[in-house]
Amino acid sequence: MTRMMEKLSPQTLRILALLAVLLVILLFFSLVIPNYLNGRLFNRISSSVAIMALIATAQTLVIITRNIDLSIGSILGFVAFATGSLVTNNPDLGPVPLVLYSITIGACFGAINGVLVAFVRVPSIIVTLGTMALFRSVLVEYSDAKSITTSNLPQWLVEFPNTVLFSIGQMQFRAAFVAAVIVVLIVHLALTRLNAARKLYAIGSNPEAAEMAGINIHKTVFVAFVLSGALAGLGGFMFLARFGTITVVAGLGFELKSVAASVVGGVNIFGGSGTVIGALIGAILVDVIETSLVRWQLVSEFWREAVLGALILLSVAADAVLMRRFISLRRKRPKSDPIPEKTSVLDGEAR
Amino acid sequence: MGSLKSLSLGAMLMLTCASFAQADAIKLEGGKETNLVLLPKFLGILVFDQANEGAQEAHKELANPGELLFVGPTPENSVAGQIEIMTTSATQGQGAVMLSNNAGDQIVPAAEAAKAAGTKIVTWDSPIPSGNGEDVFVAQVDFGSIGTVMADMAHSILGGKGEMAVLSATPDAANQNAWIASMQEALKGAKYADIKLVDVVYGDDQAEVSYNRALSLVDQHPNLGLIMSPTTVGIQASAKAMQDEGLCDKVKVSGLGLPSEMVSYTMNGCAPEFALWDFRDLGYLTYFTAYGMATGQLKGEIGESFHAGRMGDYTIEADPGREGAKRILMGPFTVYNKGNVEAAAK
């Protein structure tokens, strides 16, 4: 890896490849759908991606450690409902206690996963498959078949996601999207700059070596699940604010969408590598395909899921090919502007 | 024209049934012991809980010493869970299973096995599409008349002229497809000549999918005036989407919705009119039917009439929408608007 390092790290290249795929997809749909490329499209995608960005980030944290969290959708659904019910009964609560409440519940659920995976040592796919059903059942029981309705929520909460912070032309940057991007950036900075966060990568790429290097694997994996739960909790808060009406099906299927977004975004499903920025772009990519397919009249409802799956596979493949091409191109290039070895080593391993 | 004919035929049928009913409606004898199972699509949804309330009311009223179980799958396990509960109910020897079917015809083998074991299968809300394995379907409203009611709401909201689109639940939901087909049929009438149905999309009965689909509809059809959503999830997600994007002046929302979820959108004009039936009544009537069948007081034959407590007399008839199947028609609709929605939401 170090020899290949030049100006750009492989992760940066991967993001460039993803952006290229995104561009191609946008161009393609603009050819087949009338009236496609405009500010409205940006507003649609950015608003709906805000929630997915958070849970893709949550999923990425866990996948990096060579685990998976299938309970994310259930956690998000429960938190959305619990927070909604709290604010319905206490309409005077402000944003800070509500957000803290959401994150705390999410983190508690994440801790349950974390204990079972890290300390009881049950494989994460089994643990979270179980807790996915368990948390959903707790929600069914807790909700008592009632739903949270928009009319019972405070005005500031309902208006928050669509508040336009600033706009560029027709493109509006709304609060929910901006908040989600800020969270993703914070996690990204932590993952690349903090020593503690790099342990996640170390465990994912080689658990035995990580243990020998003195990393407490159990504690670190536990923390990854708690963080994932916390982020899913924050996603639950955003879900509540955006949709207002919460029933027991809230967030159903989000766990697989989050895995899709992460993997499309270049996160290695076997752990050890991947960035949350990639996961964010992956989420955008999946959302663009999904939204655009609805508007593409050629594809009927019954084929849409199949086409979505095929397009996701295609983008992953295209991304991989582009990535390889970039790397081989760089290899051929003479070392005209070398970069000090040290920085690149750090870059490569941290990301 | 076909719809008009079948409608008037239906009306005639109802009239004859009503006159029949007065003549020899069976009065169900209470106090007989039978264990009954009420099986919704899945747990945790308000309308199914309301149906349970209605069934519990009838359970007390008929003083059945047996048990009324309200069991259902969790949302992510709906189809498999329904089949499993159906199978378990048969082995437990339950008197009847009251099923709101979410498993399409996949439930047929389990339902037929249950029937063979002596368990009566009474469907409500959503029937078994082929009618196999089902004794009788308690229909909330006439599936044909839902189309007319939706077409009429569209007519009044659009002022008789404009483009509309449908936002449904899943592409394979039997009741949804029947309703959409009957609305398309109704739209052929001369009164609706200037109303154009431009698209049908599916929101999978999930808030987030429906919300995004509603916005896609607006983007796709610049002249859209109305989104018609015959599902309680879809209608409120559409209304929320239109409100969030400030589109309510241009694009209205209508369909089938719950007053408690729709009240704010009706009052602010996003969803001026929508309709629904009473799920408590549906549960109540379904219980009477299942109790009568399980205790052998009803044979489940066409033309048989019985007295369903506070709701009056009902008759088993051939289901016009499914050949060879039988139904009991509850009806009618309530159409909600600014005038009555607030009272109903409480």
Q: Average pLDDT of B298-309?
A: 93
pLDDT category at A334 given cuts 50, 70, 90 is low
Residues 6+ apart with CB under 8 A from A146: B46
Q: Average pLDDT of B304-332?
A: 91
Q: Average pLDDT of B86-98?
A: 94
Question: How does pLDDT run across A65-121, given as a tens digit for each residue?
Answer: 999 999 999 999 999 999 999 999 999 999 999 999 999 999 999 999 999 999 999
Helix (H, G, I), strand (E, B) or coil at B167: strand
Nearest to A150 among B46, B213, B264 (CB): B264
Q: Hey, are the CB atoms on A48 and B260 less than 8 Å from each other?
A: no
3-state secondary structure chain A: CCCCCCCCCHHHHHHHHHHHHHHHHHHHHHHHCCCCCCHHHHHHHHHHHHHHHHHHHHHHHHHHCCCCCCCHHHHHHHHHHHHHHHHHHCCCCCHHHHHHHHHHHHHHHHHHHHHHHHHCCCCHHHHHHHHHHHHHHHHHHHHCCCCECHHHCCHHHHHHHHCEEEEECCEEEEHHHHHHHHHHHHHHHHHHHCHHHHHHHHHHHCHHHHHHCCCCHHHHHHHHHHHHHHHHHHHHHHHHHHHCCECCCCCCCHHHHHHHHHHHCCCCCCCCCCCHHHHHHHHHHHHHHHHHHHHCCCCCHHHHHHHHHHHHHHHHHHHHHHHHHHHHHHHHCCCCCCCCHHHHHHHHHHC
pLDDT category at A7 given cuts 50, 70, 90 is low
pLDDT, residue A249, reads: 87
Tokens read off for A260: 């899709």
Shortest distance between the Cα of A41 and any Cα of chain B, in A, equals 8
pLDDT, residue A6, reads: 59
Instruction: For chain B, say whether A48 makes contact (Cβ under 8 Å).
Output: yes
Say how far apart CA A188 and CA A200 lie, in whole Å. Answer: 13
Q: Do domains B2-141+278-336 and B143-275 have the same CATH topology?
A: yes
Residues of A in contact with B237 (CB under 8 A): 243, 245
Shortest distance between the Cα of B188 and any Cα of chain A, in A, equals 23
Average confidence score pLDDT of chain B:
89
Nearest to B211 among A146, A243, A246 (CB): A243
Q: Hey, are the CB atoms on B261 and A246 less than 8 Å from each other?
A: no
Question: How does pLDDT run across B188-211, given as a tens digit for each residue?
Answer: 999 999 999 999 999 888 888 899
Residues of B in contact with A40 (CB under 8 A): 219
Q: Hey, are the CB atoms on B211 and A290 less than 8 Å from each other?
A: no
Q: Hey, are the CB atoms on B206 and A239 less than 8 Å from each other?
A: no
Say how far apart CA B221 and CA A36 lie, in whole Å. Answer: 12
pLDDT, residue A294, reads: 82
* Residue environment code for A30-45, b if the CB has 16+ CB neighbours within 10 A, otherwise e: eeebeebeeebbbbbb
pLDDT, residue A81, reads: 96
Q: Hey, are the CB atoms on A136 and B263 less than 8 Å from each other?
A: no
Residue from A45, A72, A177, A243 whose CB has the most chain B CBs within 10 Å, to mutate: A243
Q: Does domain A38-301 have CATH number 1.10.1760?
A: no
Search chain A and give the residue with CA nearest B220.
A295
Residues of A in contact with B171 (CB under 8 A): 301-302
* Residue environment code for A52-65, b if the CB has 16+ CB neighbours within 10 A, otherwise e: bbbbbbbbbbbbbb
Domain boundaries, given as residue ranges, for chain B: 2-141+278-336, 143-275
Instruction: For chain B, say whether A296 makes contact (Cβ under 8 Å).
Output: no
User: CA separation (Å) from A197 to A61, A263, B132?
Assistant: 9, 20, 58
Residues of B in contact with A248 (CB under 8 A): 42-45, 74-75
**Is residue B73 within 8 Å of residue B81, measured between CB atoms?**
yes
**Is residue A72 within 8 Å of residue A55, measured between CB atoms?**
yes
How many Cβ atoms from other residues are within 10 Å of residue B220's Cβ?
20
Search chain A and give the residue with CA nearest B51.
A145
Domain covering B2-141+278-336 in this structure, CATH number: 3.40.50.2300
Nearest to A245 among B48, B205, B261 (CB): B261
- Of all helices (H) and strands (E), which one includes residue A24? helix A10-32
B332: cis peptide before it, omega within 30°?
yes
Residues of A in contact with B233 (CB under 8 A): 247, 249
Q: What is the DSSP letter of A148?
A: B
Say how far apart CA A3 and CA A344 lie, in whole Å. Answer: 10
pLDDT, residue A303, reads: 82
pLDDT category at A204 given cuts 50, 70, 90 is very high
Backbone angles phi, psi at B325, to 5 degrees: -95, 160
Q: Hey, are the CB atoms on B207 and A249 less than 8 Å from each other?
A: yes
Residue from A88, A252, A296, A305 whose CB has the most chain B CBs within 10 Å, to mutate: A252
Whether the pTM exceeds 0.90: the reply is: no
Q: Average pLDDT of A280-286?
A: 94
**Is residue B258 within 8 Å of residue B46, measured between CB atoms?**
yes
pLDDT, residue B322, reads: 86
Residue A3, pLDDT above cutoff 70:
no
Q: Hey, are the CB atoms on B45 and A253 less than 8 Å from each other?
A: no
Instruction: For chain B, say whether A336 makes contact (Cβ under 8 Å).
Output: no
Instruction: For chain B, say whether A140 makes contact (Cβ under 8 Å).
Output: yes
With CA atoms as reference, report the closest residue to B189 among B144, B234, B230.
B144
Strands B96-99 and B120-124: parallel
pLDDT, residue A301, reads: 72
Residue B107, pLDDT above cutoff 90:
yes
* Residue environment code for B170-182, b if the CB has 16+ CB neighbours within 10 A, otherwise e: bbebbbbbbbbeb
Q: Does domain B143-275 have CATH number 3.40.50.2300?
A: yes
pLDDT, residue A1, reads: 44
Lowest mean pLDDT among A269-273, B51-55, B64-68: A269-273
Residues of B in contact with A252 (CB under 8 A): 75-76, 206
pLDDT, residue A315, reads: 76
Q: What is the residue type of B173?
A: A
Residues of A in contact with B80 (CB under 8 A): none
Say how far apart CA A11 and CA B193 lie, in whole Å. Answer: 58
Residues of B in contact with A136 (CB under 8 A): 74-76
Q: Hey, are the CB atoms on A137 and B219 less than 8 Å from each other?
A: no
Q: Average pLDDT of A242-251?
A: 89
Q: What is the residue type of A200?
A: L
Tokens read off for B30: 């209470």
Shortest distance between the Cα of A252 and any Cα of chain B, in A, equals 7
Question: How does pLDDT run across B159-173, given as a tens digit for each residue?
Answer: 999 999 999 988 777
Residue from B50, B74, B265 whose CB has the most chain A CBs within 10 Å, to mutate: B74
The residue with greater pLDDT, A245 or B328, is B328
Backbone angles phi, psi at B271, to 5 degrees: -130, 80
With CA atoms as reference, report the closest residue to B230 among B169, B165, B142.
B169
Residue A4, pLDDT above cutoff 50:
no
Q: Hey, are the CB atoms on A252 and B49 less than 8 Å from each other?
A: no
Residues of A in contact with B261 (CB under 8 A): 147, 149, 245
Shortest distance between the Cα of B131 and any Cα of chain A, in A, equals 24
